Amino acid sequence: MSNKQKLIVIGNGMVGHKFLESLVDLNQADQYDIQVLCEEPRPAYDRVYLSSYFSGKTAEDLSLVSDGFFEQNKIDLSLNCKAASIDRANKTVSTESGEIISYDKLVLATGSYPFVPPVPGHERKNCLVYRTIEDLEAITESAKHSKVGVVVGGGLLGLEAAKALKDLGLETHVVEFAPRLMAVQVDDAGGQLLKNKIQSLGVKVHTSKNTLNITDGEHAVHKMEFADGEHLETDVILFSAGIRPHDSLARTSDIEVGPRGGIVINEHCLTNDKDIYAIGECALWGGMIYGLVAPGYHMAKVAAQHLSNSGTDTFEGADMSTKLKLMGVDVASIGDCHARTEGALSYAYSDEVNQVYKKIVVSEDKKTLLGAVMVGEAEDYGNLLQLALNKIALPEKPEALILPALDGAAKLALGPDALPETAQICSCYDVSKGAICSTVQDGAQTIGDIKAFTKAATGCGGCTALVTQVMNSELSKLGVEVNTDICEHFAYTRQDLYNLIRIENIRTFSDLLEKHGKGHGCEICKPAVGSILATCWNDYVLDNKHIGLQDTNDIYLGNMQKDGTYSVVPRVPGGEITPEGLIVIGEIARDFNLYTKITGGQRIDLFGAQLHELPIIWRRLVDAGFETGHAYGKSLRTVKSCVGSTWCRYGVDDSVGLAIELENRYKGLRSPHKIKFAVSGCTRECAEAQSKDVGVIATENGWNLYVCGNGGMKPRHTDLLAQDLDKATLIQYIDRFLMFYVKTADRLQRTSVWMDNLEGGLDYLKSVVLDDSLGMCEELETQMSHIVGTYQCEWKTTIEDPEKLKRFNHFINANEKDNNIVFVKERGQIRPANEKERSVQFSDAGNAHLHQTNKTEPTLNTDQIIASDVLQR
């Protein structure tokens, strides 16, 4: 046995785990033999993001435990192990299974549980709560056999639960006891607006409803009877009527608890027993239970420091301000939003047309901001919160903070410069302005970098706008120009240019430059505009109007290799190819002596073609029925497939058939970056669809649509956008998704990075694509159908135009080849010679070691390619 002190932590929830991490970060974990008792069957996971379980996140995705955390730090973790009682006199904890464990120090991190009002009938089947992964599994299960769902409780969590029920396809109701929704955070007017908005999204809201009884329904499983004599029938009931602290261990061992529950703690998070701490939602500080994770995290740090004598941080209450998007509606609440402070004054602004409500509460002298409520639009949340937290002096007319900017007048905004270095910008991860600035000084340049290095903005996301402002301000101080202009020729972003081109019906680069740009264009704006023009109007890219815009690969419709030769990639939709097709490709590769390789995209790449050979090769491919594979374009690359139900014993649907259909539909679409798809025939996922920009997986009930995955430099798994779709709906959603991406992404931004930078993230994307919240879906679909309807194989068009073919001679005035291109043989095929091999070749042409291959010119039948005279000239 070691002689270390024994530390027991009861509960491995979000806060209990943060406590362990804090001890490890302080290098103090090895002071103790640590044992963690965890009632749940799995270690800590992210409850804040619990709802994303419904959109495809798994228990592993939600896990908060880094790989090997418990093993490396020698922390003993007991799962499914509930503490039953504490014996303070003997300093032991006994578990439900009868084990008795001694402790020197004890930390209670038992969290809270959902309060279920004692309405008769509340224990009936399908009466559930919303707190753990097991709860979610039960909800999913019962939703399968249900049509209607009711959430009891219209607070923050209740509305989140309602969204989950709606997403599960149920007719959804919210029943609230108070006269308004989110009674804690918003006022009457804000609550009313919120109610209207949520009703308009298809959730029925019943306020001032007191449930008296739940009995058998006539058309549904249950009937809920209300005090006002009305009733409501439903199949599922979710209780979300507040939380209660898990304090029974304290009660039964005489640790002090508050009159309405909660384990009383001091500023070091110590209970009235000097060896026992309490942290998180089970703890009561200053008469308050903090039902948010940020204050809990702070308690965890404080307790870890105090316990290990390695810091003096104290817990002195926390700010409960919140900003969130509930079913796509922005809601924010700051500080004293009900104007309860003595002498407090308030200003309100209500706009029924745009459904926006804002209120600020200021001190009697109008100098400081005490609180605020925002519904419908909460862009100013970050600014207002900082004004309130840092007690920054308000402008003379505080109402300007919530009034919309009138013509010309710049909106009053608090610059990030006004904030002290210590200002907490992200409360979820306790990231200060100073921390963001120093990350920028260390080289971070994008919001993605900041997220990766500080975790700021990766929790609730409420601080994203402010984090961005702080970052930009610091970047400009460092002389890094925060310039979103695409280049020196256009003072616009790619998105602006896209809109200008569409709205003003601009057809050429010269027109755009004349109207909106300056100078003559460069290798940044030209390809970007070329791509936008192609997305909007879908002209032939080598048309004389557009040819000067095409980048390295597009300008010769092939990928340039290091030696100036090209690769040839015919399209093989879905990866399905006939033996005849394979033979044709093989023959061409042999005749032109091309290096041949199967690509990672389920097709065949032929390397080492010289400029003048490209048209002849493509003539043969086109004649054999092949089309261009756009391997060179910022456009659809491949739609990979698995073999699917046709052959595979597990397949549930025809993944190959769908992959081919999708590839043929979207081929040729020019986009901000390349786009890759995959379709799998069942959840075994042999096509790796969850790493693609668009992934589709067959299920028993239809197709699941995943978006915004990436392999490559920074892999990202997809998010589930929609489930169980029939094919028509699937295609409709993909049309909308792709056109929305194409419309709003930055230049060279893959869908993954686009998603990571999209304010509102997946929920926002869903609202746009599934619920048409921007009212633009019809337009997006029309635009896509234009692209689909005007597709042409660029290689076919090119080989049929003698003028275009002239460009494929290496020399405009001679029929010779580029003598700088030298191949050697390796493993039976050609490859470009390296420096050393070249120097040998040029100094001693006859060197015997070097198998310089002479590519034999294939004999050409003149009508194999029109204008072959041009090439042979």
Partner 1 sequence: MSQWLDVCEVDDIAPDTAVCALVNGKQVAIFRPLATDTLFAVDNFDPVGKANVLSRGIISDIQGQLTVASPLYKQHFCLASGQCLEDEALKIPTYPIKTEGRRVYVSAH
Binding site for ligand FES (CB under 6 A): 426-428, 456-463
Contact partner, 631, from ligand FAD, partner 1, ligand SRM, none, Cβ < 5-8 Å per class: ligand SRM
Minimal distance, residue 166 CB to ligand FAD, in Å:
15
Alpha carbon distance 569, 550 (integer Å) = 18
**Residue 291 CA neighbour count, 13 Å, CB half:** 14
Quick note: the x/- pattern for ligand FAD over 90-129, rule CB under 6 A, is -------------------xxx------------------
Q: What, of partner 1, ligand FES, ligand FAD, none, does residue 10 touch, CB below 5 to 8 Å by kind? A: ligand FAD
Overall size of the chain counted in residues: 873
- Give whichever of 346 and 565 is closer to partner 1, judged by the CB atom: 565
**Cross-strand partners of 95:** 83
When asked if residue 676 is in the footprint of ligand SRM (CB under 6 A), the reply is yes
Contact in structure between 754 and 745 (CB atoms under 8 Å)? yes
- The verdict on 681 binding ligand SF4 (CB under 6 A) reads yes
Show contacts with ligand SRM in window 722-761 (CB under 6 A): 750
Whose Cβ is closer to ligand SRM: residue 11's or residue 608's? 608
Instruction: Give the nearest distance from C-beta 603 to ligand SRM in angstroms.
Output: 4
Nearer to ligand FES, 426 or 532 (CB): 426
- Return the sign of the alpha-carbon dihedral for residues 447, 450, 452, 454: negative
Total H helices, total E strands in the chain: 26, 38
Choose the binding region for ligand SRM from 39-47, 339-347, 537-545, 707-715 (rule: CB under 6 A).
707-715
What span, in angstroms and rounded, lies between the C-alpha atoms of 21 and 26? 9
Contact of residue 192 among ligand SF4, ligand SRM, partner 1, none (CB under 5-8 Å per partner type) = none
Closest among 239, 244, 242, 241 to 128, alpha carbons compared: 239
Residue nearest to ligand SF4 (CB): 681
d(CA 337, CA 116): 27
Residue 446 is a binding residue for ligand SRM (CB under 6 A): no
User: Would you give the end-to-end CA distance of the chain in angstroms?
Assistant: 91
Scanning residues 264 to 293, which ones bind ligand FAD (CB under 6 A)? 280-281, 291-293
Closer to ligand SF4 by Cβ: residue 683 or 782? 683
Choose the one of partner 1, ligand FAD, ligand SRM, none that binds residue 818, judging by a C-beta under 5 to 8 angstroms depending on kind: partner 1
Amino acid identity of residue 332, one-letter, is: A
Residues of the shown chain interacting with partner 1 in the complex, contacts defined by CB under 8 A: 488-489, 510, 519-523, 526-527, 544, 547-552, 555-556, 560, 562-564, 806-807, 810-814, 816, 818, 820
**Residue 708 token pair:** 């915004």
Q: Decide: is 832 part of the binding site for ligand SRM (CB under 6 A).
A: no
**DSSP one-letter string for 709-758:** -B-SSS-B--EEEEEEE-HHHHHHHHHHHHHHHHHHPPTT--HHHHHHHS
Nearest Cα neighbor of 544 from 319, 806, 341, 738 is 806
State yes or no: residue 569 binds ligand SRM (CB under 6 A).
Answer: yes
Q: Determine if 83 is a binding residue for ligand FAD (CB under 6 A).
A: yes
Q: Are 716 and 752 in contact (CB under 8 A)?
A: yes
What does 488 interact with, of partner 1, ligand SRM, ligand SF4, none (CB < 5 to 8 A by kind)?
A: partner 1
User: Is residue 378 close enough to count as binding ligand SF4 by CB under 6 A?
Assistant: no
Distance CA(326)–CA(332), nearest Å, equals 10
Check the CA dihedral 70-71-72-76 and report its sign: positive
Name the maximum alpha-carbon separation found in the chain.
103
Tokens describing residue 56: 């495809």
The CB-of-480 to partner 1 minimum distance in angstroms stands at 19
In this structure, is the dihedral angle defined by the CA atoms of residues 203, 204, 209 and 215, taken in order, positive or negative? Answer: negative
Tell me: does residue 599 bind ligand SRM (CB under 6 A): yes
Least CB distance from residue 424 to ligand FES, whole Å? 9
Distance of alpha carbon 750 from alpha carbon 626, whole angstroms: 27
Residue 576 binds ligand SF4 (CB under 6 A) = no
Which of the choices ligand FES, ligand SRM, partner 1, none does residue 4 contact, using the CB cut-off of 5 to 8 A by kind?
none
Handedness of CA 858, 863, 864, 867 (dihedral sign): positive
CA atoms of 492 and 495, how far apart (whole Å)? 8
Q: CB-based contacts of 229: which residues, under 8 Å, 6+ apart?
A: none
Q: Smallest distance from the beta carbon of 789 to ligand SRM, in angstroms?
A: 25
416 vs 615 by CB, closer to ligand SRM: 615
Q: By CB under 6 A, is residue 15 in contact with ligand FAD?
A: yes
Angstrom distance (rounded) from CA 653 to CA 563: 44
Out of 163, 246, 433, 667, name the contact with ligand FAD by CB under 6 A: 246
- DSSP-assigned states of every residue in 352-363: TTTTEEEEEEE-
- The answer to whether residues 9 and 109 touch, using CB atoms and an 8 Å cutoff, is yes
Q: Which residue has the tokens 């923050």?
A: 156
Residue 720 or 753 with smaller CB distance to ligand SF4: 720
Instruction: Tell me if 347 sits within 8 A of 399, measured CB to CB.
Output: yes
Examine residue 686 and tell whether it contacts ligand SF4 (CB under 6 A): yes
Give min distance, CB of 634 to partner 1, in A.
14
**662 alpha carbon, distance to own chain's centre:** 24
Q: Which of 9, 20, 29, 50 binds ligand FAD (CB under 6 A)?
A: 50
What are the φ and ψ backbone dihedral angles of 180, each rounded to 5 degrees? -145, 165
Q: Does 499 bind ligand SRM (CB under 6 A)?
A: no
Binding of residue 688 to ligand SF4 (CB under 6 A): no
57/546 with CB nearer partner 1:
546
Per DSSP, the residues of 399-413 read: GGGTSPPPTTPPPP-
The binder of 426, among ligand FES, ligand SRM, ligand FAD, none, by C-beta within 5 to 8 A per type, is ligand FES
Torsion angle, alpha carbons of 435, 440, 442, 447, to 10: 100
| Least distance (Å) between residue 609 CB and partner 1 | 14
Using CB under 6 A as the binding rule, whether residue 600 contacts ligand SRM is answered as yes
Q: Encoding tokens for residue 284? A: 């009561």
Three-class secondary structure of residue 786 per DSSP = helix
3-state secondary structure of 386: helix
Residue 39 engages ligand FAD in binding (rule: CB under 6 A)? yes
Among 305, 559, 593, 749, binds ligand SRM (CB under 6 A): 559
**Least gap, CB of 109 to ligand FAD (angstroms):** 5
* 603 makes contact with ligand SRM (CB under 6 A): yes
**Which range binds ligand SRM by CB under 6 A, 71-79, 206-214, 236-244, 708-716?**
708-716
- In this complex, which beta carbon is closest to ligand FES, that of residue 426 or of residue 584? 426
Query: In 513-587, where do the E strands start and end?
Result: 559-560, 566-568
Q: Using the rule CB under 6 A, which residue among 515, 684, 714, 851 binds ligand SF4?
A: 684
Q: Is 619 in the site for ligand SRM (CB under 6 A)?
A: no
Tokens of 372: 């605020």
CA 736 to chain centre: 17
If one counts every other C-beta atom within 10 angstroms of the C-beta of residue 811, the result is 12
Rounded to whole angstroms, how far apart are CA atoms 138 and 159? 18
> Of residues 650, 811, 816, 844, which one binds ligand SF4 by CB under 6 A?
650
Nearest residue by C-beta to ligand FAD?
A: 13
Residues at the contact surface with ligand SF4, assessed by CB under 6 A: 642-644, 648, 650-651, 655, 680-682, 684-686
Residues at the contact surface with ligand SRM, assessed by CB under 6 A: 559, 561, 567, 569, 597, 599-601, 603, 605, 631, 637-638, 674, 676, 710-713, 750
Residues at the contact surface with ligand FAD, assessed by CB under 6 A: 10-16, 37-40, 47-48, 50-51, 82-83, 109-111, 130-131, 157, 160, 246, 249, 280-281, 291-294, 296, 460
